[in-house]
Amino acid sequence: MELDSCEFHVVKRKKGKKTGRNVEVVTHDNHEDGPMFDKVSFKRRLVECMQEIRLTELVENCTDYLMSVNVYQEEKCLCPSSSRFGDTEDSEQQQHSNFQPWPQLLSYGIGRFTSCPIARYQLAFLLVLREKLKNPPCHIYDPVFSSREKEIIEDFECKVISHNEEGKRVCDSRTILFMPHCGKALYNNVIWANLNTLENLVIIGNSFSRMLDSNPHRLLSKTANYVIKVAPYMVETPLKPASFVHTDVFNDLSFHIFPKSKLINALPEFGENNTEPVYTEEEVEIIQKSIV
Ligand SMILES: C[S@@+](CC[C@H](N)C(=O)[O-])C[C@H]1O[C@@H](n2cnc3c(N)ncnc32)[C@H](O)[C@@H]1O
């Protein structure tokens, strides 16, 4: 079942502006969040979406994976088995008993969840996931959020990041990044900022392997050069949203991790020449901070 899509438009910067770094966003005019917006009934709808998500296996599958990968990265350094992340019942039990809470959740690019049902379900998923993980701190950012949306996020005890960090937050403790259907440049920035802390990350986002397979190298080298760089050290596991009725909310998403056991094989030049990405293309799918 498809929900109305919520389009993200990037408009070209006027010619003659030197930096080419600012990209504006045009959001669809939405009246839901206008003066007549009823926050109480919207929050009720969000809670209903959370309840709908709880009734699926989605979050459970996701937490199972996160538990196994937590042990995997911190204690065992063994690859999780492909048979639903645990070889035997014993190993699964052992993984659960070794489970350490995830220190933090970070989300970029959920979108305008008061007007877009896809974004609303994604936010609901993030809130249920956080609940299952025993409420670690959760920071959320999308430059298109309205002030009402920021208020709602805070009402659910998450923090709205106060400025556009362009995805360049350094995650110096283990972090689950939830970035559903974001642009390549945003993933690229996350990777660049965390080249020395990759083993801390689980990125739930669009399949990197599909991104690399389905785009011309010329384009990728401009907007996803760091995704290319880390691909050999990555393990990607598809998120299986089979049980979720709306097919365009969690489609094409995967978990991406960078196990120590793989990073150890990184070539010496991995740490060199990692200049900050600059996107000169006019249409990268990221809203960059303004340079005044
Ligand atoms: C293609 S939309 C995806 C929206 C929604 N998650 C979905 O699946 O429909 C990409 C999202 O990335 C957001 N985005 C762009 N630049 C960003 C930035 N610098 N930081 C965080 N989010 C950003 C956009 O505002 C937009 O909501």
**CA-derived radius of gyration, the chain:** 19
- Residue 13 — φ and ψ, nearest 5°? -75, 150
| Residue 31, pLDDT score | 47
When pLDDT is cut at 50, 70 and 90, the band that residue 267 belongs to is: confident
The total number of residues written for the chain in this structure:
292
Average pLDDT over residues 262-277: 88
Q: Whose CA is nearest to atom 11 of ligand 1?
A: 109
Distance of CA 281 to the CA centre of its chain: 23
Contact (CB, 8 A) for 226 and 279: no
Q: Ranked by mean pLDDT, which of 1-15, 50-64, 234-248 comes out on top?
A: 50-64
C-alpha dist (Å) from residue 108 to 80, 122, 228: 27, 11, 21
Can you tell me whether residue 160 is helix, strand or coil? strand
Strands in the chain per DSSP E: 9-11, 24-26, 104-108, 138-141, 159-160, 175-179, 201-206, 235-238, 253-257
**DSSP secondary structure, 132-143, as one string:** HTT---EEEE-T
Mention every residue, 6+ apart, whose C-beta is less than 8 A from residue 67.
95, 96, 99
| Residue 78, pLDDT score | 41
Which atom in ligand 1 lies closest to the alpha carbon of residue 248? 8
Contact (CB, 8 A) for 25 and 10: yes
Least confident piece of the model among 9-13, 67-71, 145-149: 9-13
Q: Whose CA is nearest to atom 27 of ligand 1?
A: 111
| Proportion of the chain above pLDDT 90, given as a percent | 62
- Rounded distance between C-alpha atoms, residue 101 and residue 54, angstroms: 20
Ligand 1: list residues with CB < 6 Å: 6, 8, 25, 108-111, 118-119, 122, 141-144, 164, 166-167, 180-183, 186, 286-287
Average pLDDT over residues 112-131: 97
Residues 53-79: pLDDT tens digits? Answer: 999 999 999 998 998 886 666 544 444
Q: How far apart are the first and last CA of the chain?
A: 44
